[in-house]
């Protein structure tokens, strides 16, 4: 079946603009994760949903970052008033329920803030 | 924050040689997973080892877990040029939900 889909693939924003990044998880996957990956680094945890409930948002860097998953399927990561340090690849992953279910990743959205 | 630390940060070997990557972590875990990432792509799950397991095999992959030392290793045997990628360990633990935290990764380069 289809994998995790993220859009857009690339986004260039001027500093101060708002951006919205979309994630379509694998159908039926209950858990959804957002990560931020800087060049040459590992993915840094941002937030985690189980269905529509945001169970952990401890990794969101500031109150400019906001994530939602209103119907327990598609998720949107919104960044307000973008800054240059927000430039990174934003990865979305989904998984089935169960602690031993692996994460399935999309190819990410590369955000460049100029 | 990242819980896992991998070493080496980078590894360059000849095709046919074995590659060993190590991962250390800080807190108690439910399981530890290894992922692979090719440049410009998302991560792909390779293998999962549960906290009550000590060793697991999958094809050319062998993973060990030592919970007393909070460490794991990934061995890739008979490496191929196509194994060139970044490899990340990830730990899963419960904090009101099951969080998965990644390390900084090992960049493996296999020379043909």
pLDDT of B43: 95
The Cα–Cα gap between B30 and A16 comes to 41
Q: Is B95 on the interface with A (CB under 8 A)?
A: yes
The Cα–Cα gap between B83 and A79 comes to 35
Q: Do B48 and A100 touch (CB under 8 A)?
A: yes
pLDDT of B93: 87
**Residue B5 pLDDT class (50, 70, 90 cuts):** confident
In B, which residues are within 8 Å of A48 by CB distance? 97, 99
Q: Do A107 and B40 touch (CB under 8 A)?
A: yes
Closest chain A residue by Cα to residue B30? A99
Q: Do B104 and A103 touch (CB under 8 A)?
A: no
Name which of A45, A100, A106 is nearest B99 (Cβ-Cβ): A45
pLDDT of B80: 97
Name which of A45, A56, A103 is nearest B45 (Cβ-Cβ): A103
Query: Starting at the edge strand that comes first in sequence, how are the strands of the sheet with B5-7 ordered?
Result: B5-7, B19-24, B71-76, B61-66, B55-58
A43-87 confidence digits (pLDDT tens): 999 999 999 999 999 999 999 999 999 999 999 999 999 999 999
**Residue B1 pLDDT class (50, 70, 90 cuts):** very low
**Quick one: B66 exposed, middle or buried, by C-beta within 10 A (0-12, 13-18, 19+)?**
exposed
Name which of A42, A102, A104 is nearest B2 (Cβ-Cβ): A42
**Quick one: B37 exposed, middle or buried, by C-beta within 10 A (0-12, 13-18, 19+)?**
buried
B16-45 confidence digits (pLDDT tens): 999 999 999 998 999 999 999 999 889 999
pLDDT of A20: 98
* CA–CA min distance A6, chain B (Å): 10
Q: Is B100 on the interface with A (CB under 8 A)?
A: yes
**Residue B4 pLDDT class (50, 70, 90 cuts):** low
A92, A99, A104, A109: best mutation site toward chain B, by most B Cβ within 10 Å? A99
pLDDT of A1: 54
Q: Do A100 and B90 touch (CB under 8 A)?
A: no
B44-93 confidence digits (pLDDT tens): 999 999 999 999 999 999 999 999 999 999 999 999 999 999 999 999 98
């Amino acid at each position: 079946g289809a994998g995790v889909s993220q859009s857009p693939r690339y986004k260039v924003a001027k500093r101060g603009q708002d951006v919205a990044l979309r994630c379509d998880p694998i159908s039926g996957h209950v858990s959804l994760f957002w990560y931020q990956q800087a060049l040459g680094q590992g993915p840094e945890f941002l937030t985690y949903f189980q269905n529509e409930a945001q169970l952990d948002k401890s990794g969101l860097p500031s109150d400019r970052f906001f994530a939602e998953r209103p119907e327990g399927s598609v998720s949107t990561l919104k960044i307000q008033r973008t800054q240059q340090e927000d430039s990174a690849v934003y990865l979305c992953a989904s998984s089935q329920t169960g602690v031993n279910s692996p994460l399935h990743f999309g190819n990410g959205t590369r955000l460049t803030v100029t | 924050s990242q819980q896992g630390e991998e070493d080496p940060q980078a590894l360059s070997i000849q095709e046919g040689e074995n590659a060993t990557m190590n991962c250390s972590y800080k807190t108690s875990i439910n399981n530890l997973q290894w992922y692979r990432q090719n440049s410009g792509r998302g991560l792909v799950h390779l293998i999962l080892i549960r906290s009550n397991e000590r060793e697991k095999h999958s094809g050319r992959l062998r993973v060990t877990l030592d919970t007393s030392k909070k460490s794991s290793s990934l061995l890739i045997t008979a490496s191929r040029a196509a194994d060139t990628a970044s490899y990340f360990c990830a730990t899963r633990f419960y904090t009101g939900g099951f969080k998965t935290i990644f390390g900084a990764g090992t960049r493996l380069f296999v020379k043909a």
